[in-house]
């Protein structure tokens, strides 16, 4: 049993200062006065959303590529050849079967390292930090802001998205959503239903950047120096 | 309490800031650039006034039911296996974190940008622990740290007052050998900090929004250092002001959209993360997760007319539109919270004795109120501070009262008012000079010069600028209007 005396003391004190009794919330839950988060940018077809996503992704310095399931392995090889990396990291996931990439993982060069469940913090972080390129799977792509969203899993950890130098995210066209609200609705429901057990959800909008020195935009600070989104159009 | 950044009196700080021409140019450039980006991003979103209504509603609701939301949040953090500590003061908060660092035998601490950790003086307390190293990892905070812990000047752009040559000079001491190109400087910081990051065992972050119903922390950043701080160390401490709470992930998402647009004119910043204690099976993220919820004077606002200040989402938009901030920059305010929000918040947190000058450091133009994404009536709260100071603190205003009474009598009696109009021009003649009219000199009737002698009553004005001499009676507005009206009537009859 956790001792809550520190908490109770604190909360009683602020309730007293506010002049409002505690435990009133259950009768007054939050009800938003408008539905702008849901309705903004609504009513677009998947083709239109893809076009909006492309425009907004490129505006945040993302390379936006498209392919289909049959061409996915070739598209990835072309991406890797472009940067000629010495090291590559991939997630551990069943999604390779879904995307038809199982064979590709056996032939791709350089030979990939994997973010590996059960191998612990140091092993995985060291690998990710040593990776020139990371290729991962995003859950959704948000058209309005050019954002990919990813929930952390045992096979694709937090550091996977931040430590490598170059980063590519694969995402299905059917998972392009209008805005952050639609993604959040899905995550919120999945967490509450117990379907998603994660400690972390990342909304990533282009490569890291900073304007801290004389307001000059520098792309690539702590996170990857560049980002590519690869949309699989027939999935 | 360490929100104070200077022991010097207000006017001295302002004078010093006025000398800093680079800072003024930087602030002006940043305000202008941010204006364009912010307004464009809000326009593109559309329905901005209605978004502000929603932002205000969310923030007002959570402040109204703050104890209930904090209780729910704390329960959910514990359900996820984390720990929550409620700190009434800065000292309690810093002591909890310092003791935890000792207990964990932290060697290398990493921090990501957080105003509240500056507020509780955490860095200096942690550095007292023998064998402990500490690194600020936000690029701007890193620059300030390596510049002997210089004070921040903006809540979003803390190193705004440093130019690239100064940054290069600071980095040279760390072994940098390149030029003053911001990209090269940033690359050096990346490599320097990356080495440190990979050895870090204790991470400290702030919190943009704490999500009550899921026990997650929402951080909104551009560089990626906060996410590394949450990924690499085994222990993470989140320090949050007690008002940074939202009901659910949905309201966090709404406010992230408004914060990103208002702070930096982006639709979303590079990284918006929703994060908590490591879940079983995951390799990284904190195994030991602590949240420290800080009051430290915030509750002084509860139940008072200043309660709306707790709605603040720390976007800094009010700083970016403020004409006073444009001239005196962050250091002029003498608080880690500068600008209009700082002028309202600092006296709430730390009293009028230290920050009583700040509510007067405003032209009351209301640009801050107009831009605030959550509709905090900032300029009205500044006026309220002035009222409270005069009344509650029983400041001596008997002289002002008498003067205002005399003005009241004079302006409400036509005989006296007309007499004053007859007399003001000749009476002010002794103190005035009349120069040739020009673009700079629009004082057609003469002026009392800034440096001239003036009775105490108008000193506040003539200490800093010229006071126009009132016009002659037959040149004043009423006289002109009468003649103009008569001339128009005459024209009609012709």
| Residue tagged 């701007």 (tokens) | B140
Per-residue pLDDT in tens (0 to 9) along chain A, 235 residues: 788 999 999 999 999 999 999 999 999 999 999 999 999 999 999 999 999 999 999 999 999 999 999 999 999 999 999 888 999 999 999 999 999 999 999 999 999 999 999 999 999 999 999 999 999 999 999 999 999 999 999 999 999 999 999 999 999 999 999 999 999 999 999 999 999 999 999 999 999 888 878 878 888 888 899 999 999 999 8
Provide the token pair at B23. 């800072």
> What are B204's two structure tokens?
């400290």
CA distances for A66 relative to A134, B48, B177, B222, B305, angstroms: 18, 33, 41, 26, 55
For residue B123, give both structure tokens: 């860095």
Closest CA–CA distance from residue B349 to any residue of chain A (Å): 14
Question: With contact defined as beta carbons under 8 Å apart, do B102 and B201 qualify?
Answer: no
- List the strands of the sheet with B133-136, edge to edge: B83-87, B288-294, B235-241, B202-205, B108-111, B133-136
Q: For A190, list phi and psi in degrees, rounded to 5.
A: -65, -40
Q: How many helices (H) and strands (E) does chain A have?
A: 8, 12
Q: Is A126 on the interface with B (CB under 8 A)?
A: yes
Of A11, A20, A124, the CB nearest to B64: A20
First to last CA, chain B: 76
Cβ-nearest to B230 among A25, A158, A184: A158
| pLDDT value of residue B458 | 65
pLDDT digits (tens, 9 = 90+) for B275-288: 999 999 999 999 99
pLDDT of residue B455: 65
Q: What is the per-residue pLDDT for A23?
A: 97
Least confident of B23-27, B103-107, B176-180, B233-237: B23-27
Q: Tokens 């004070």 — which residue? A: B151
Question: What pLDDT score was predicted for residue B454?
Answer: 66
Collapsing DSSP states into helix, strand and coil, what is residue B148? coil
Overall residue count recorded for chain B in this entry: 494
Residue B189 is encoded by which pair of tokens?
Answer: 């910081």
| C-alpha–C-alpha distance, residues B378 and B16, integer Å | 26
Taking the Cβ of residue A92 and every Cβ of chain B, the question of whether any pair is shorter than 8 Å is answered with no
Q: What's the pLDDT tens digit per position in B335-353? A: 999 999 999 999 999 999 9
Distance CA B292, CA B241 (A): 8
Q: What is the pLDDT of residue B162?
A: 85
| Pairwise CB contact (< 8 Å): B267 & A120 | no
Alpha helices in B266-338 (DSSP H): 317-321, 323-333
| Nearest CA-CA partner of B22 in A214, A14, A163, A110 | A214
Q: Enumerate the H helices of B120-233 as residue ranges.
A: 122-127, 139-146, 164-172, 182-197, 225-231
- Quickly count: other Cβ atoms within 10 Å of residue B396's Cβ: 8
The Cα of B477 is separated from the nearest Cα of chain A by a number of Å equal to: 48
**pLDDT tier at B271, thresholds 50, 70, 90:** very high
Contacts of A121 in chain B (CB under 8 A): 234, 283-284
- Are B143 and B162 contacting, i.e. CB atoms less than 8 angstroms apart? yes
Weakest-pLDDT range from A144-158, A190-204, B16-30, B391-405: B391-405
**CB distance A215–B157 less than 8 Å?**
yes
Q: Say whether domain B21-26+42-299 belongs to CATH 1.10.3720.10.
A: no
CB B210 within 8 A of CB B217: yes
pLDDT digits (tens, 9 = 90+) for B68-93: 999 999 999 999 999 999 999 999 99
| Rounded Cα gap, residues B385 and B339, in angstroms | 15
CA distance B468 to chain A (A): 40
- Helix/strand/coil percent split, chain B, to 5: 55, 10, 35
* CA distance linking residue A126 with residue B424, whole number of Å: 81
Whether the Cβ atoms of residue B336 and residue B141 lie closer than 8 Å to each other? no
Tokens of B40: 């464009």
What pLDDT sits at residue B493? 81
Average pLDDT of the segment spanning B235-260: 98
Q: How far apart are CA B142 and CA A32, in angstroms?
A: 40
Four-residue CA torsion sign, A149, A152, A154, A156: positive
Quick one: fold of A44-232?
Rossmann fold (3.40.50)
For residue B252, which residues of chain A lie inside 8 Å, CB to CB?
184
Rounded distance, CA B164 to CA B185, Å?
9
CA distances from A53 to A38, A80, A149 (A): 17, 23, 13
Which stretch of A142-146, B138-142, B450-454 has the lowest confidence by average pLDDT?
Answer: B450-454
> What 3-state class would DSSP assign to A185?
helix
Is the pLDDT at B100 greater than 60? The verdict is yes
Q: Which of B163, B282, B295 sits opposite A10 (nearest CB)?
A: B295
Q: Do B273 and A201 touch (CB under 8 A)?
A: yes
Chain A residues whose beta carbon lies within 8 Å of the beta carbon of residue B163: 214
Give how far B256 is from chain A: nearest CA, Å. Answer: 10
Which chain A residue's Cα is nearest to B270?
A: A205
Beta bridge partners of A176: A141
Other C-beta atoms closer than 10 Å to the C-beta of A173 total 18
Give the burial string for A28-43 (b: 16+ CB within 10 Å, else e): eebebeeebbeebbee
Q: How far is A132 from chain B (nearest CA, A)?
A: 14
Please report which residue ranges of B351-413 form alpha helices under DSSP H. Answer: 352-355, 367-371, 378-391, 398-412
A78 φ, ψ (degrees, to nearest 5) = -65, -40
B-interface mutation test, from A165, A200, A223, most B Cβ less than 10 A away: A200
How distant, in Å, are the alpha carbons of A17, B48, B360, B380, B406 from that of B386? 22, 31, 7, 10, 22
Please answer whether residues B67 and A22 qualify as being in contact, where contact means their C-beta atoms are separated by less than 8 angstroms.
Answer: yes
Residue B490, pLDDT > 80, answer yes
The band of B18, judged by pLDDT with boundaries at 50, 70 and 90, is confident
pLDDT surpassing 60 at residue B1: no
Q: Report the chain B residue with the minimal C-alpha distance to residue A153.
A: B282
CB distance A158 to A200 below 8 Å: yes
**Average pLDDT for B469-492:** 87
The domain limits of chain B are 21-26+42-299, 407-493
Residue B438 pLDDT grade (very low, low, confident, very high; cuts 50, 70, 90): low
| Predicted confidence (pLDDT) at residue B24 exceeds the cutoff of 80 | yes
Residue B311 C-alpha from the chain's centroid:
13
| Maximal CA-CA distance, chain A | 68
Q: Where are the domains of chain A?
A: 44-232
Res B423: pLDDT = 87
Residues B84 and B277: beta-carbon distance below 8 Å: no
Nearest-angstrom CA–CA distance, B107 and B102: 9
Please report, for residues A42, A64, B102, B276, B315, the alpha-carbon distance to residue A46 in angstroms, rounded to integers and kept in the order given.
Answer: 11, 16, 54, 33, 33
């Amino acid at each position: 049993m956790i001792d809550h005396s520190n908490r109770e003391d604190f909360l009683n004190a602020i309730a007293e200062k506010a002049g409002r009794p505690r435990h009133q919330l259950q009768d007054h839950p939050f009800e938003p006065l408008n539905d702008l988060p849901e309705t903004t940018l609504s009513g677009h077809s998947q083709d239109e959303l893809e076009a909006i996503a492309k425009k907004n992704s490129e505006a945040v310095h993302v390379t936006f590529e498209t392919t289909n399931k049959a061409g996915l392995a070739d598209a990835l090889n072309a991406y890797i050849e472009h940067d000629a990396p010495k090291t590559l990291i991939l997630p551990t996931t069943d999604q390779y079967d879904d995307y038809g990439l199982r064979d590709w993982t056996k032939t791709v060069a350089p030979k990939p390292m994997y973010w590996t469940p059960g191998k612990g913090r140091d092993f995985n972080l060291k690998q990710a930090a040593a990776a020139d390129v990371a290729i991962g799977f995003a859950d959704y792509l948000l058209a309005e802001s050019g954002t990919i969203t990813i929930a952390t899993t045992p096979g694709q950890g937090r550091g996977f998205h931040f430590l490598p130098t170059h980063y590519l995210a694969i995402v299905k066209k059917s998972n392009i959503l209008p805005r952050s609200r639609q993604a959040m609705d899905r995550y919120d429901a999945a967490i509450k239903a117990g379907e998603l057990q994660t400690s972390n959800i990342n909304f990533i909008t282009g490569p890291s950047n900073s304007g801290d020195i004389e307001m000059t935009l520098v792309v690539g600070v702590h996170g990857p120096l560049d980002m590519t989104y690869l949309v699989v159009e027939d999935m | 309490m360490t929100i104070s950044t200077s022991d010097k009196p207000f006017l001295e700080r302002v004078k010093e800031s006025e000398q800093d021409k680079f800072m003024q140019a930087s602030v002006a450039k940043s305000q202008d650039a941010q204006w364009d980006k912010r307004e464009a991003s809000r326009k593109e979103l559309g329905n901005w006034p209605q978004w502000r209504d929603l932002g205000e509603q969310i923030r007002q609701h959570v402040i109204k039911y703050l104890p209930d939301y904090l209780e729910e949040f704390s329960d959910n953090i514990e359900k996820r296996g984390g720990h929550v500590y409620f700190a009434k003061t800065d000292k309690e908060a810093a002591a909890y974190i310092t003791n935890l660092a000792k207990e964990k035998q932290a060697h290398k601490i990493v921090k990501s940008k957080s105003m509240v950790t500056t507020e509780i003086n955490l860095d200096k307390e942690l550095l007292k622990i023998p064998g402990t190293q500490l690194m600020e990892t936000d690029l701007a905070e890193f620059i300030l740290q390596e510049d002997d812990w210089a004070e921040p000047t903006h809540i979003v752009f803390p190193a705004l007052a440093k130019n690239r040559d100064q940054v290069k000079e600071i980095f040279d001491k760390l072994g940098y050998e390149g030029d003053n190109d911001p990209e090269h400087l940033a690359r050096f910081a990346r490599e320097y900090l990356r080495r440190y990051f990979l050895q870090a065992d204790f991470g400290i972050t702030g919190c943009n929004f704490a999500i009550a119903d899921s026990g997650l922390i929402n951080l909104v950043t551009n560089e990626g250092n906060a996410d590394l701080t949450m990924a690499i160390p085994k222990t993470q401490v989140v320090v949050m002001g007690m008002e940074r709470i939202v009901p659910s992930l949905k309201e966090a998402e709404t406010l992230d959209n408004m914060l990103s647009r208002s702070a930096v004119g982006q639709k979303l910043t590079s990284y918006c993360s929703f994060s908590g204690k490591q879940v079983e099976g995951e390799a990284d993220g904190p195994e030991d997760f602590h949240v420290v919820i800080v009051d430290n004077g915030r509750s002084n606002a509860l139940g008072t007319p200043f309660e709306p200040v707790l709605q603040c989402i720390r976007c800094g938009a009010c700083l970016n539109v403020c004409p006073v901030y444009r001239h005196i920059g962050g250091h002029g305010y003498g608080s880690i919270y500068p600008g209009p929000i700082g002028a309202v918040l600092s006296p709430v947190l730390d009293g009028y004795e230290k920050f009583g000058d700040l509510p007067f450091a405003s032209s009351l133009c209301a640009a801050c109120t107009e831009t605030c994404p959550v509709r905090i009536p900032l300029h009205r709260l500044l006026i309220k501070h002035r009222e409270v100071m005069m009344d509650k603190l029983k400041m001596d205003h008997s002289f002002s009262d008498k003067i205002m009474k005399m003005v009241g009598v004079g302006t409400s009696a036509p005989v006296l008012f007309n007499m004053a109009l007859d007399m003001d021009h000749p009476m002010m003649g002794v103190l005035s000079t009349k120069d040739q009219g020009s673009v700079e000199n629009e004082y057609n009737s003469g002026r009392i010069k800034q440096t001239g002698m003036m009775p105490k009553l108008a000193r506040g004005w003539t200490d800093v600028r010229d006071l126009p001499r009132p016009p002659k009676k037959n040149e004043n507005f009423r006289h002109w209007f009468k003649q103009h009206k008569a001339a128009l009537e005459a024209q009609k009859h012709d």
